[in-house]
Amino acid sequence: MSSMHNLDATDARLLLALSDNPRATGLDLAQRLGLSRNTVQARLAGLESRGALRPFDTRVQAAALGYPLTAFITTQVNQHMLNGVGDALGEIPEVIEVHGLTGATDLLVRVVARDPDDLYRISALVLAIPGVERTSIALSMHEMVNYRATPLLHRRVVG
């Protein structure tokens, strides 16, 4: 998270250029941005090492893999077992994201499923994890705003 605070306007311009053309080479980016190829490569390496770039697999749509349903499972957890619950959730392939929350719910677990029966199976796996005390499921009907960072990058470029 803190890596975003380290991005300067040049990093933001570089990421915007990559957003426009994810297959651009270092040379293409250098020419487009008026930077040296070595500068582009060094900045990209720095962004990767600081965790400012998400892994490539976040661009893959689960529906294309046969998982058209997305659901959010709010989860209450025994606090003494929170780390173990997180590890166990990471072992379920259909769990694609987990967020720790404040308030009455401890975790927000984003899952994908093939159909309602598959979602039922996955929710049973989550509930069976030692330390999980209670769950509630909300089925995503439609993703209204896709994950995006471009507006924030534009803000960084402008200042």
Q: Is 43 found in the same domain as 18?
A: yes
Are both 23 and 78 inside the same structural domain? no
Radius of gyration of the chain (CA): 19
In a domain, 149, yes or no: no
If one counts the domains in the chain, the total is 2
Tokens 């705003």 belong to residue: 145
Residue 1 confidence (pLDDT) above 50:
no
- Dihedral angle over CA of 33, 35, 41, 42, nearest 10: -120
Cα–Cα distance, 38 to 42 (Å, whole number):
6
Kindly state whether residues 69 and 116 are assigned to the same domain: yes
Nearest residue to 52 via CA among 96, 14, 99, 109: 14
pLDDT band, residue 45 (cuts 50/70/90): very high
- Please give the single-letter amino acid code of residue 35: L
- What percentage of the chain carries pLDDT values higher than 70? 96
